[in-house]
Amino acid sequence: MAVMKASMLLVLVSLSCSYALSSSCSTSPSQWCSSLDSAIQCGVLKQCLEANFTRAHHAADPVQLALYYESLCPACRDFLTQILFPTWTLLQDILTVTLVPYGNAQEIFDGKKYIFTCQHGVPECLGNMIETCILNMSSSTAFQIIYCMESSTDVIKAAKSCVELYSPQLEWGRIMSCVNGDLGNQLMHQNALKTKALSPPHNFVPWVTVNGEHTDELQQKVMSSLFTLVCNMYKGTKPAVCGVSRDARRYRSYCYTE
């Protein structure tokens, strides 16, 4: 049985190489290993099998990081695009990221729906809502889409093209229906509840919890050496990349509550 499996594996690997020469890869890199068809079409079956084997031997829960932020806060954008996303890209097998776009916003209930006021004005409320709906409707590529938005000159204007790039099957009209409808309103209210439930309460953003905990020391380590922190905190077999020093950028910039 083991010999037969090994033979089949070799056949599939060979098939992937020949198939890649005659077929174009239509999926984004983050989805190459999402299915056998995608792996074969993109010519990376062998690499996906090796990655799955490595992942199966980690045998420990990933480090859980939650980021509470605002879509137009300059400090949040810098942290998300220059520290958090690059670290997650390298360590996504051992790091899980939860994004909560709300930050220093405020909400009131007018009897029918929640009205939100954001630190950086109406455009930020729109950015928060778009990203919240993307997180709800495109979970597998949401981080890539939000990174694309936050690294652009204009976060709001970039949203549609970023969705088309990383999640072409997701219709922009569906996202805007969420943004302007009851679903988006309720999702943002949930973000508000999550943010208000923080202990200790946040007094600036980006605000980070690691494995559900926030301390001044953890926040400082996250902002200055996130890559090293995740590698050190992970209890399973560490990926090879953890042996390479990656912490080059350090931030101490925040958007404080008013």
Read off the pLDDT band of 222 (50, 70, 90).
Answer: very high
List the structure tokens of 231: 């590698």
pLDDT of residue 111: 95
Q: Which class for 64: exposed (0-12), middle (13-18), buried (19 or more C-beta within 10 A)? A: middle
pLDDT of residue 97: 98
CA dihedral 251, 195, 84, 157 (to 10 degrees): -100
pLDDT of residue 40: 82
List the structure tokens of 25: 């890869």
Strand spans (E) along the chain: 63-69, 95-101, 106-109, 114-117, 204-205, 207-210, 255-256
pLDDT of residue 31: 74
**Tens digit of pLDDT for each residue in 171-188?**
999 999 999 999 999 999
- What are the backbone angles phi and psi of residue 241, rounded to the nearest 5°? -65, -20
pLDDT of residue 57: 55
Above 50 in pLDDT, residue 141? yes
Q: For the chain, give the mean pLDDT.
A: 87
Task: Average the pLDDT over 55-68 and give the result.
Answer: 83
- Weakest mean pLDDT among 152-156, 164-168, 239-243: 239-243
pLDDT of residue 12: 42
Rounded Cα distance between 108 and 128, Å, is 16
Task: Average the pLDDT over 189-211 and give the result.
Answer: 98
Q: How many other C-beta atoms lie within 10 A of the C-beta of residue 16?
A: 21
pLDDT of residue 56: 56
Task: Average the pLDDT over 54-82 and give the result.
Answer: 89
- What are the backbone angles phi and psi of residue 33, rounded to the nearest 5°? -100, 15
Report angle CA 78, 83, 169 to the nearest 5 degrees: 85
Rounded Cα distance between 195 and 18, Å, is 51
Whether 85 contacts 220, CB under 8 Å: no
pTM of whole model > 0.75?
A: yes
Which ranges in 93-215 belong to alpha helices (H)?
A: 122-137, 142-150, 155-166, 172-180, 182-196
Above 90 in pLDDT, residue 157? yes
Above 50 in pLDDT, residue 5? no
Above 80 in pLDDT, residue 8? no
Q: How many other C-beta atoms lie within 10 A of the C-beta of residue 22?
A: 6
